[in-house]
Amino acid sequence: MELHPKERDILAALAATDGPARPEELESVDPTTARRMGYWLSQKGLVTLEERTLEEARITEEGRLAASNGLIERRLLTILTKKTPLEDLFRTEGLSREQVKIGLGWLRKRKWATIGRDEDVTVLTRSDEGTKAVDGTLLEEEILVKLAIGPIAVTDKERKLLETLVHRSMATVSERKELVLTITDEGRETLESSDDEGSVSLLTPVMLETGSWRNVSFRKYDVTLPVPPTRPGRKHPLPVLIDRVRRIFLDMGFQEARGPFVESSFWCFDALFQPQDHPARELADTFYMKNPAKTVLPKKIVPKVRSAHENGTAGSSGWGYKWSEDVSRRPVLRTHTTAVSARRLSELTPPAKVFCVDRAFRNETLDYKHLMEFHQVEGIVVSEDVTFNHLLGYLKEFYQRLGFDKVRFRPAYFPYTEMSVEPEVWMPSRKSWIELGGAGMFRPEVTEPLGIECPVLAWGLGLERPAMLALEMDDMRTFYRNDADWLADAPGVF
């Protein structure tokens, strides 16, 4: 078997060692090269690789001080005499009162001193064990000296002592992965029998110019060996999905709309006929802003929205409370992109089809299917001749173009739509129906104050959830963790 010169060097270095060796222990071999070439040698069966988990101890700043100045209990021990007043110890130079208390605890724990009373004064007396310890050295102190030089591997013999130092904040213990290489019997035989020591692996310009390539032996390449996976640059799955969603709606004749992240309560809630005492407007769900302190409201629309809330519109009695303009001015991080639809409704002339794909914010408890910042797919269709069946048709067409074959709808309730539905798609991998958002026909209390007198179809759909399902992920938070391995390996299903 032919060997690369570096492979030969590694095999020779391993053959010279007595047993397994770390890349850093191989003489005349670069550790990085040893790791890389060791992988190729393991594929040929000439070397075995083993990844070991080692515990490594490091000294802390407090431990470094103890290594140079001594443990607190030893510093106190050196000034102890017969019946040393307790208050004298609290005046020990360089030690706080709290540190002295800790040192007293260790003096008694090590039985280096006893505590008693002498004429109503608390005194400490050095014990016989304490006298012997004055000129001795504790094992903890020896370990601190080693740690002051550099990290050390945790052994079973020193584990308990290190646990004590960790408890006293003088050391830390962490795990470290270590690669170990061992030459196999086949590797030794190959090293001894290989005759390609003078072979060349690279054809150079100099060889071509001088013709020396005719007189050298070129090393053969084994094209059957595995190669590292290629990870070309790629877009994050979420922007890919957003681009696809945009393309679907643009192809269906929709116009795209955008709106501000910091929105007024008016556009986020009031214009959508959501009462000002609705639970969703509480701090438990909504992020209210301190700056700006208040927002500017559209003067022409405010009276109409007020009237809808207090008295309703044709055929409606409203909510029957006194609507507050001050509450409506409160700025929020928009809780849904439906605020964009409300703004656009106040500006457009029917017929119109508008969509928005953008971020929304809610004060959610983070878990595998809830985020504080997420994306929504918003859409409205404004026309005299649209019906509820058209709404179901648009949603079904959208999800089928997105790749979900089976779509169904469940009746639902939302404050600003009537009739309302929740679209669901069938996930074969989970063998279940998954709810992906809400939709319905805007109520007259929403549309009439905004100057719209014809039916309006509306929907607000989640984006991360269908993406998570399509990618067969278990946790929506993975999208935002910047895990390079996951980003490189995530399947491009969109």
Does the model's pTM come out above 0.85? no
Tell me if residue 123 falls in helix, strand or coil.
strand
Give the pLDDT of residue 259. 94
Cβ atoms within 10 Å of 488's Cβ, excluding its own: 13
Q: How confident is the model at residue 347 (pLDDT cuts 50, 70, 90)?
A: very high
Q: Give the whole-angstrom CA distance, residue 300 versus residue 308.
A: 14
Structure-model confidence comparison of residues 81 and 363, the more confident one: 363
Is the pLDDT reported for residue 198 higher than 60? no
Give the pLDDT of residue 44. 86
Give the pLDDT of residue 1. 62
Tell me if residue 223 falls in helix, strand or coil.
coil
> Average pLDDT, stretch 39-60?
88
Is the pLDDT reported for residue 248 higher than 80? yes
- Cα-flanking dihedrals φ and ψ of residue 215, to 5°? -105, 10
Give the pLDDT of residue 431. 80
Cβ atoms within 10 Å of 298's Cβ, excluding its own: 15
Instruction: Record the tokens describing residue 355, joined without a space.
Output: 């969509």
Tell me if residue 299 falls in helix, strand or coil.
coil
Percent pLDDT > 90 in the chain is 41
Cβ atoms within 10 Å of 219's Cβ, excluding its own: 16
> Average pLDDT, stretch 155-162?
87
Structure-model confidence comparison of residues 195 and 488, the more confident one: 488
Q: Indicate the CATH number for domain 238-489.
A: 3.30.930.10
Query: What DSSP line would sit under 24-75, residue for residue?
Result: GGSTTS-HHHHHHHHHHHHHTTSEEEEEEEEEEEEE-HHHHHHHHH--HHHH
Is the pLDDT reported for residue 306 higher than 90? yes
Give the pLDDT of residue 383. 96
The residues, ordered by sequence, that sit 6+ positions from 261 with a Cβ below 8 Å of its Cβ are 333, 334, 359, 361
Percent pLDDT > 70 in the chain is 97
Q: How confident is the model at residue 274 (pLDDT cuts 50, 70, 90)?
A: very high
* Amino acid type, 236: H
Which of 185-189, 197-201, 323-327 has the highest average model confidence (pLDDT)?
323-327
Q: Is 138 exposed, middle or buried (0-12, 13-18, 19+ CB in 10 A)?
A: middle
> Average pLDDT, stretch 104-112?
90
Task: Write out the H or E segment, with its range, that includes residue 175.
Answer: strand 171-183
> Average pLDDT, stretch 189-206?
73
Q: Please calculate the CA angle 165-169-174 and round it to the nearest 5 degrees.
A: 75
Q: How confident is the model at residue 494 (pLDDT cuts 50, 70, 90)?
A: low
* Amino acid type, 25: E
Q: Judge whether 266 and 328 are in contact, CB under 8 Å.
A: yes
Tell me if residue 264 falls in helix, strand or coil.
strand
Structure-model confidence comparison of residues 436 and 440, the more confident one: 440
> Average pLDDT, stretch 143-161?
89
Is the pLDDT reported for residue 196 higher than 80? no
Give the pLDDT of residue 197. 52
Give the pLDDT of residue 420. 95
Give the pLDDT of residue 271. 95
DSSP-derived secondary structure letter, 17? S
Write down the residue that tokens 């490091």 correspond to. 58
Q: How confident is the model at residue 194 (pLDDT cuts 50, 70, 90)?
A: low
Q: Judge whether 5 and 200 are in contact, CB under 8 Å.
A: no
Structure-model confidence comparison of residues 474 and 64, the more confident one: 64
pLDDT mean across residues, the chain: 88
Q: Please calculate the CA angle 323-335-388 and round it to the nearest 5 degrees.
A: 85
- Of 109, 118, 73, 401, the C-alpha closest to 254 is 401
Give the pLDDT of residue 193. 77
Give the pLDDT of residue 199. 65
DSSP-derived secondary structure letter, 288? B
Is the pLDDT reported for residue 92 higher than 80? yes
> Max Cα separation, the chain?
104
The residues, ordered by sequence, that sit 6+ positions from 451 with a Cβ below 8 Å of its Cβ are 345, 346
Q: Judge whether 424 and 436 are in contact, CB under 8 Å.
A: yes
CATH T-level assignment (fold) for domain 1-52+155-228: Arc Repressor Mutant, subunit A (1.10.10)
Is the pLDDT reported for residue 493 higher than 60? no
Domain ranges of the chain: 1-52+155-228, 72-137, 238-489
* Amino acid type, 278: H
Q: Is 173 exposed, middle or buried (0-12, 13-18, 19+ CB in 10 A)?
A: middle
Is the pLDDT reported for residue 115 higher than 90? no
Gyration radius (Cα) of the chain, Å:
37
Give the pLDDT of residue 2. 66
Which of 43-57, 227-241, 321-335 has the highest average model confidence (pLDDT)?
321-335
Which of 200-214, 311-325, 447-461 has the highest average model confidence (pLDDT)?
447-461
Is the pLDDT reported for residue 403 higher than 90? no
Tell me if residue 410 falls in helix, strand or coil.
strand
Cβ atoms within 10 Å of 363's Cβ, excluding its own: 14
- Of 171, 129, 130, the C-alpha closest to 154 is 171
Q: Give the whole-angstrom CA distance, residue 97 versus residue 284.
A: 45
Give the pLDDT of residue 490. 77
Is the pLDDT reported for residue 95 higher than 60? yes
Alpha helices, H only, 295-419 = 302-310, 325-328, 338-345, 388-402
Q: Judge whether 171 and 71 are in contact, CB under 8 Å.
A: no
Give the pLDDT of residue 86. 84
Domains 72-137 and 238-489 share a fold: no
Give the pLDDT of residue 300. 94
Q: CATH says 72-137 is which class?
A: mainly alpha
Q: Give the whole-angstrom CA distance, residue 290 versus residue 255.
A: 33
pLDDT per position as a tens digit, 232-243 = 778 888 899 999
* Amino acid type, 177: K
